[in-house]
Amino acid sequence: MSEKINVLVSEEEVTKRLKELGEQISKDYEGKEIHMICILKGGVFFMVDLSKRISVPVSLDFMSVSSYGNGTKSSGVVRIAKDLDESIEGKDVLIVEDIIDSGRTLYYLMDILKKRNPNSIRLCTLLDKPERREKDVKVDYVGFEIPDEFVVGYGLDYAQKYRNLPYIGVVEGVE
């Protein structure tokens, strides 16, 4: 690990925001059960910590959807590497994503999941880069709005490194 990483969002800021998101989601879903769908791999850290702060019942499932290779720019090709284990028909679904930038992956995914007849479907992301948006994706819950920088940590990686950092950082010199 020779790259220099500058802290963008501290571990304390992440923890505080997770508590706030958990409270808001719990309030919005009062009396319901949330079926959380984690977008692998980056969303795992966020979903696990977020789910611990939600007071209504939750169930979990996972999808692996990608539009990135080992680079830092989206390839534009979206593919499902792992689909859901359970049907979402009639469920209140909350998609949990680590970061949304162009919105292409989530636009495609939301279209697929809506056709599976959930009761409701909402989107929660840890990080949002609205200035990169190419597709109109409604994000219901946002942890942090960030500038157009390449970030790592708290589930986000650079060539599979740095996911385990407890904060969100910018890798110096990476485009």
Which position has the higher pLDDT, 41 or 126?
126
What is the average pLDDT across 122-151? 93
What is the average pLDDT across 157-165? 91
State how far the Cα of 69 lies from the Cα of 158, in Å rounded to an integer.
10
For the question of residue 140 being annotated catalytic, the response is: no
pLDDT at 125 (0 to 100): 97
Farthest-apart Cα atoms in the chain, separation: 49
Q: Which of 49, 101, 128, 157 is catalytic?
A: 101
Provide the pLDDT confidence category of residue 1 given band limits of 50, 70 and 90: very low
Q: Is the pLDDT of residue 169 over 70?
A: yes
Which position has the higher pLDDT, 72 or 51?
51
Which residues make beta-bridge pairs with 62? 38
- Taking each helix axis as running N to C, give the angle between helix 11-28 and helix 43-51, from 0 to 180 degrees, rounded to the nearest 10: 60
Tokens encoding 16: 């505080």
Which residues make beta-bridge pairs with 142? 125
State how far the Cα of 158 lies from the Cα of 118, in Å rounded to an integer.
34
Q: Is the pLDDT of residue 31 over 60?
A: yes
Query: pLDDT tens across 113-131, in order?
Result: 999 999 999 999 999 999 8
What is the average pLDDT across 23-32? 98
Provide the pLDDT confidence category of residue 37 given band limits of 50, 70 and 90: very high
State how far the Cα of 126 lies from the Cα of 17, in Å rounded to an integer.
9
**CA nearest to 166, candidates 126, 123, 122:** 126
pLDDT at 175 (0 to 100): 62
